[in-house]
Homo-oligomer: A and B are copies of this chain.
Amino acid sequence: MPAGELRYPSPVSSPQPSQATETPVVVEEDDEAWVWAQIKAEARRDAESEPALASYLYSTILSHSSLERSLSFHLGNKLCSSTLLSTLLYDLFLNTFSSDPSLRAAAVADLRAARVRDPACVSYSHCLLNYKGFLACQSHRVAHRLWNQSRRPLALALHSRISDVFAVDIHPAAKIGKGILFDHATGVVIGETAVVGNNVSILHHVTLGGTGKACGDRHPKIGDGVLIGAGATILGNVKIGAGAKIGAGSVVLIDVPPRTTAVGNPARLVGGKEKPSRHEECPGESMDHTSFISEWSDYII
């Protein structure tokens, strides 16, 4: 799961930017079934080759009849505590995933995103079981749904567990698209009014934070296909355009136009504010972190 690079193309990514909307999604059930079949096949193969892991693989994957059951079981056991029992969480997850096909479609899209973009992601089951970014994101989707149903105390309790267990802190109100890769994920913080589009890749220690000035809409809006490098901090209700790239360690306080790159602390646009360089590929999918090096170095030094 180390800083991933891409073997293009991801079949589920759409070339044109879309909105990170909350509108119902028609589940591509065939797709879900295909991924679930893959996961079971992988787990069966691993269980055979590694008896020490077979019990774990059976309990988390092979004993379940669907992806939503497997995921609910896994999350329930990961996020439970002595005061929030696994049975309660399992029930909550299962009911939510069962009643909202868009959550399942998003999970499948996220699995594909990890599989396609991260060369360290050796299998779908590896992502399902082991990627804290994937697990935190699916849990967030459930918390977000609870939030929208005005079940806020429960959403916030779930949020707290996700932050404790995965060190990933996404406010339940934040809107997250699908086809998302949270790579490594530790330390990610995403604020209440943030919006993240589809097919976005976000590395660890990334902050989408507020500015403290406004009380309402005060967090970044991340367009489709954006790539945000490790440790980047984006503050305030700024707009990161579709297909933009944010360099690792950058501190971004400004809008970033589509298909441009912002780097540095404070971040500036590669190519200059007036006429920034534009790239063609979709960095959220290509995961190209460093091609801006030469330009940047030239620009700065």
Contacts and interface: CB of A to CB of B under 8 A. Distances in A.
A159 interface: yes
B83 A56 contact: yes
Interface stretch (A9-17, A30-38, A59-67, A103-111): A59-67
A25 interface: no
A55 interface: yes
A149 to B, nearest CB: 10
A176 interface: no
A192 B2 contact: yes
Interface in A185-216: 186-187, 189-194, 203-205, 207-215
Contacts of A174: 2
Given A85-B59, A154-B53, A160-B130, A210 B4 contact: yes
B209 A289 contact: yes
A289 B210 contact: yes
Give this chain's copy count.
6
Given A1-B169, A77-B85, A55 B56 contact: yes
Nearest to A292: B253
A3 B189 contact: yes
B163 A290 contact: no
A290 B236 contact: yes
Contacts of A166: 164
A81 B81 contact: no
A208 B289 CA distance: 13
Interface of A: 1-7, 46-47, 49-60, 62-63, 73-74, 76-78, 80-88, 90-92, 119-120, 122, 126, 129-132, 151-154, 156-157, 159-160, 163-167, 169, 171, 174, 184, 186-187, 189-194, 203-205, 207-215, 218-219, 229-231, 233, 235-236, 247-251, 253-254, 263-266, 268, 286-291, 293, 296-297, 300-301
